[in-house]
Amino acid sequence: MPGFELFGDKERKQVQDVMDSGVLMRYGFDGMRNGHWKAKELELALAKRMETNHAHLVSSGTAALTVALASAGVGAGDEVIMPTFTFVASFESILALGAVPILVDIDDTLTLNPVAVEKAITPKTKVVMPVHMCGSMANLDALQHLCNKHNLLLLEDACQAIGGTYKGQPLGSIGDLGCFSFDYVKTITCGEGGAVITNNEIYYQNAHKYADHGHDHIGNDRGAESHPFLGYNFRISEMNAAVGLAQLARLEEFLAIQKTNYTILREALSQIPEIVFRSVPEGGEENYSFLNFFMPTEALAQKAHKALAENGVDGCFYWYNNNWHYYKKWEHLTQLKSLGNVPQEVKAQMPDYSKADFSASDHWMGRTISCLIKLGWTEQQVKERAENMVKAIKSVV
């Protein structure tokens, strides 16, 4: 991670096809395309790789979440359960539809705690949205059981976990809907892009229409298409899809490199008894994009994070103090800072997060260090990195 590290001739070839045709839009202009439909090709390839019936490309992972929620009818006043540790796009997509984000504690998987999820369910809950942060997954069996029990939708945010699996199934394919991000720092990238996958025909039909101003995409005359409902513009371009088409074909290559590099680093850190690695649910396999581990205390985690940087180990994150990924610094959410009026349903239903007790999440995040696994490292660089990581952490424990 990320895929841009290994850009090459395959990506250039796909992009050149688009440049030669001059058609950068995914819809229409049939006669000018020279047979190139990169978005359609990527959707078919992605659906096949993820073992789902349908895939629809959009402009970003945030757009994917928004479109997925909208396609399932989520709107004003509906509550969506999400974790305290995620990217801000999770609650942005919920709020964009007038729905209400309900933050819930994580556990040692660094994802949704099923016990906390059940306590948060109300009559207005419509969706449980686990976020497979840093390449690994939530306890999907437990969450699926809760969704079945309470008649809720399970939406997998797999934006950081493409290629991971749970009991043999690709992450993103297990819930009612799954979402991916293909931005510039993901395992495979389109530059900018995202996707929604599902086995539900209705959700798919809603998704491709909603993401393109409500166009029904029936026939070959775009100007004659009808609009069965309101939609917005979340389209991907052919240029972005072309890059993604080449990158998806290389996914197994990238995953293998990530696993090799991850394994070297993990084996090195395993010699430090004070380190405990993130829990992966039984039957799950990470995509190895991050190595995540816990230090004994918050103070030691902070010291270790600083020592890693001082020893030349870049790409290690202490999410506990991160503006984008942990609830503690989401003042714009907790204070509902908005350029326009916030929907009344959101104002009325939003919990007072200034008084919320997320100490169970703090217990894990305060001690967590996550280290990015790069694709471009040489074998020697990985070994040197492992030595420097061990040296840095041993200096503080």
User: pLDDT at position 193, please?
Assistant: 98
Instruction: With beta carbons less than 8 A apart as the criterion, state whether 130 and 110 touch.
Output: no
Retrieve residue 94's tokens. Answer: 């919920």
Instruction: With beta carbons less than 8 A apart as the criterion, state whether 97 and 75 touch.
Output: yes
Output the CA angle 290-158-371, nearest 5 degrees: 10
Cis omega (within 30 of 0) on the bond before 2?
yes
Single-letter amino acid, residue 78: D
Distance CA 323, CA 304 (A): 20
Q: What is the DSSP letter of 85?
A: B
User: What CATH number should be reported for the domain whose range is 252-394?
Assistant: 3.90.1150.10
Q: Where are the domains of the chain?
A: 3-250, 252-394
Map 231-257 to HEC letters: CCECCCEHHHHHHHHHHHCCHHHHHHH
Domains 3-250 and 252-394 share a fold: no
Distance CA 209, CA 164 (A): 29
Give, for 289, the enclosing helix (H) or strand (E).
Answer: none
How far is CA 375 from its chain centroid? 19
User: pLDDT at position 354, please?
Assistant: 86
pLDDT digits (tens, 9 = 90+) for 138-179: 999 999 999 999 999 999 999 999 999 999 999 999 999 999
CATH classification (class only), 3-250: alpha beta
Give the Cβ contact number of residue 9 at 10 Å. 9
Question: Pairing state of beta strands 290-294 and 368-372?
Answer: antiparallel
Residue numbers of the chain with a pLDDT score lower than 70: none
Contacts of 193 (CB under 8 A, 6+ apart): 57, 58, 59, 60, 181, 182, 183, 236, 240, 241, 244
Distance CA 157, CA 162 (A): 10
Q: Could you confirm whether 186 is annotated as catalytic? A: yes
Strand partners, 277: 293
Distance CA 219, CA 23 (A): 19
Distance CA 336, CA 80 (A): 16
Backbone angles phi, psi at 73, to 5 degrees: 85, 15
User: pLDDT at position 1, please?
Assistant: 80
From 38, 186, 209, 374, active-site residue: 186
